Amino acid sequence: MRKNTQPEKIILSNASDFLAELPGNSNLPQSKEGGKTVAGVRMRAIFALAKKHMHMEVEEIEQLLKSPVYEHRVGAVSIMEGQK
């Protein structure tokens, strides 16, 4: 079996790309629980999307961290974890 010797393509993304791809981002009703906005997106979907956006610039991650929506902040932390 041959190994793929081509380098992995690095695609720099931004916060708006991440938000646009978040499953059900605009379709799910957002609820406020304990003063926090929750969209109801499953963590599995957020983690998979974060893995795809692992090469996001720090400034873009900061935009996600400032979001009032819980899932956006979880995605930002997951992206940072993948960059370690």
Write out pLDDT tens, residues 41-62.
888 989 999 998 888 899 989 9
In a domain, 24, yes or no: no
Q: With contact defined as beta carbons under 8 Å apart, do 37 and 69 qualify?
A: yes
Q: What is the pTM of this model?
A: 0.71
Q: How many CB atoms lie within 10 A of CB 78?
A: 20
Single-letter residue type at 58: V
Distance CA 77, CA 84 (A): 11
In a domain, 73, yes or no: yes
Within-domain flag for 68: yes
Number of domains in the chain: 1
Q: Is residue 78 part of a domain?
A: yes
Asked, for residue 60, whether it belongs to a domain, the answer is yes
* Whole-number average pLDDT of the chain: 78
Q: Return d(Cα 17, Cα 1) in angstroms, integer.
A: 36
Instruction: State residue 36's pLDDT score.
Output: 72
